[in-house]
Structures are given as C-alpha cells and as structure tokens.
Amino acid sequence: MSRTVYVNGAYCPEEEARISIFDRGFVFADGIYEVSAVIGGRLVDCEAHLARLERSCGEIKLALPWSRAELIAIHEELIARNGLDEGGVYLQVTRGAADRDFPFPKDATPTLVMFTQARNMTSAPAAKTGIKIVSCPDIRWARRDIKSVGLLAQVLAKQYAAENGAAEAWMLEGDVVTEGGSSTAWIVKGKTLISRPLSQKVLPGITRQAVLAFIAESGYAFEEREFTLAEALDAEEAFITSATSLVMPVVSIDGHSIHNGAPGPAAIRLREIYLDFARKGGALG
C-alpha cells in the first residue's frame, strides 16, 4: 500500500517522491534525523524530539527554516493522510543539494523529508517475551549526541545482532556499554536503575528522559553512571528505551540469561507507566 510522504513542501505518493543525487544527505550524510512515536494516532513527546532536532542542527551549523509548529503540523498531516494509528514519523533534514564539495554550499536550501511507518508497539510480542542482545565494539564517531543520519556503524551493529538472533546490539567502548544500536541501555541492580550519564558519547534519549521523570512513581532509585558488560551480565534485569521500542525488557545478553530469561518487574512496570504517559501524547510538565 502506497503511503503519502512529505518532500520539500509537498505531500505525494511515496513512488513519486524525488531527491537530487547531489543531496548532501545522500553524498556526505550531512543531515540530521528524528523519529517520533505515534500511539492511538497521537504523537508522543514530539516537542522534545523537535527540541533535540534543533540542538543537533545547531551543532552542525544547519539553520532550520521551519518553526516547531510548522514541523508538528506536517507530522500531524502525515498521520491523518496515512490513517496512522501506531508507529512513528521519521523526519530527515539535510544541508540540501549542491555540487559535491566538502565545505558548506553558499546557496543550498535544506531538504526536508518526512514519512510515516506503521509499527505494532503497544502490544509488540517482544514486550511479553523480552529481547536478546549481543555486544559488539562501538566504532562510531565522537559526537554521538548529534542525531546524525550517518548510521553505518549502527547498521553494521544491528545487522550483526540480526545474524545472531538478537533484536539489538549493545556497543562497547573497552568493556563499557555505550548504548544500543538505536536505543538507550539500562540495567537494574536491587531497586536501582542504572544508565550512563549524557555526554558526547551517547544520544540523549527522549524516552530515557521520560523514564527518568517516572522514577519516583516506579518505586526505583536511579544511579547515573557507566556500566560494564560484565556488570550487565550479572545484573538482575536489563532493558532498553527508544521511540520505537518504548521500554523493552532484555532477557539475554551474549547468550547469557538475564532475570532467568523472562522480563523483569522494573521493565514491566516502567513500560506500563510509559504507555500510560504515551497514550496521553507524552509531554513532560
């Protein structure tokens, strides 16, 4: 079934969408993206995703010609035109099309592409069974706080995971877990949730931010620190968060069972709280 997508000011069937071969997103990965979840036909925490988009674009000196309100309106129009109930909206902005040359072009107009993806999230079977993780070296660049479209390292990590029967890869720097290929990594020890601090080494997850706001309600404490793979293997529980997985229990890491191979209570509780929040459209007060 053909979707209606958005390309540079126009809504069109996906087969008709066109981007120049000179687009700097295509040639240099000179662009930024965001993925906002949609649940019950409503955007979840879209303002927070757009705030991160603005920050990422600022970090690569890409001036955004669209206001947040304009971008939200395009998101909502795509959801309506595609009758999307559950899934996500992908947004990509690039520095535009110009003859291939590394420095920024003087007169290029940024490219804006957006499309919807239907995805079963609230009742994803994986949330009941939990997912498997494999670890691999983190071979990414030094500015992972920028949501760059340059995702080859994550493509390779997640392909490695897929080839090994896992749904996600945890990338390692030395023996420290940096984050998932497309998610934030968490472990649980006793009644404490552990996830690493924000820095240039990780993407500041919007779902992470929401979960942190629910810590008190969940009955868990939070310790913001790095953790090693050995600690994760020894943890009582592990889980990931992202706009596509929401809160997802991890039941095995590198073939080693976590929480006896079943989703643990922290992940189950946080997922419940997150779903409740997401169904109301998100947005932290």
Task: Give yes or no for residue 228 binding ligand PDD (CB under 6 A).
Answer: no
Site for ligand PDD in 35-54 (CB under 6 A): 35
> Based on CB atoms, which residue is closest to ligand PDD, 228 or 244?
244
Out of 116, 148, 182, 195, the only residue in the binding site for ligand PDD (CB under 6 A) is 182
138 near ligand PDD, rule: CB under 6 A: no
What the block records as the tokens of 172 is 């390692």
Residue ranges in the chain assigned as alpha helix (H): 24-28, 46-59, 68-81, 125-129, 152-163, 206-213, 215-218, 229-233, 265-279
- Contact map string, positions 188 to 227, toward ligand PDD, x by CB under 6 A: ---------------x-xxxx-------------------
Residue 242 touches ligand PDD, criterion: CB under 6 A: yes
* Region binding ligand PDD by CB under 6 A among candidate stretches 10-18, 238-246, 249-257, 262-270: 238-246
Nearer to ligand PDD, 59 or 108 (CB): 59
How far apart are CB 184 and ligand PDD at their closest, in Å?
5
Give the N- to C-terminal CA distance of the chain in Å, as an integer.
38
What are 178's two structure tokens?
């940096």
- Interface with ligand PDD includes 135 (CB under 6 A)? no
Give the pair of three-digit tokens for residue 117. 């993806």
Is 116 among the residues that bind ligand PDD (CB under 6 A)?
A: no
Of the candidates 193, 198, 176, the one whose C-alpha atom is nearest the C-alpha of residue 240 is: 193
Catalytic residues, by residue number, are 147
Is 244 an interacting residue with respect to ligand PDD (CB under 6 A)? yes
The residues that bridge with 135 in the sheet, in sequence order, are 170
Distance, C-alpha 81 to centroid of its chain: 24
- Of 184, 195, 218, 252, the one binding ligand PDD by CB under 6 A: 184
Residue 241 touches ligand PDD, criterion: CB under 6 A: yes
Among 30, 138, 179, 237, binds ligand PDD (CB under 6 A): 179
How many C-beta neighbours within 10 Å does residue 248 have? 25
CB burial of 40-69 (b: ≥16 within 10 Å; e: otherwise) equals eebbbbbbbbbebbeebbeeeebebebeee
Task: Judge contact between 251 and 257, C-beta under 8 A.
Answer: yes
Residues in contact with ligand PDD by the rule CB under 6 A:
35, 179, 182-184, 203, 205-208, 241-244
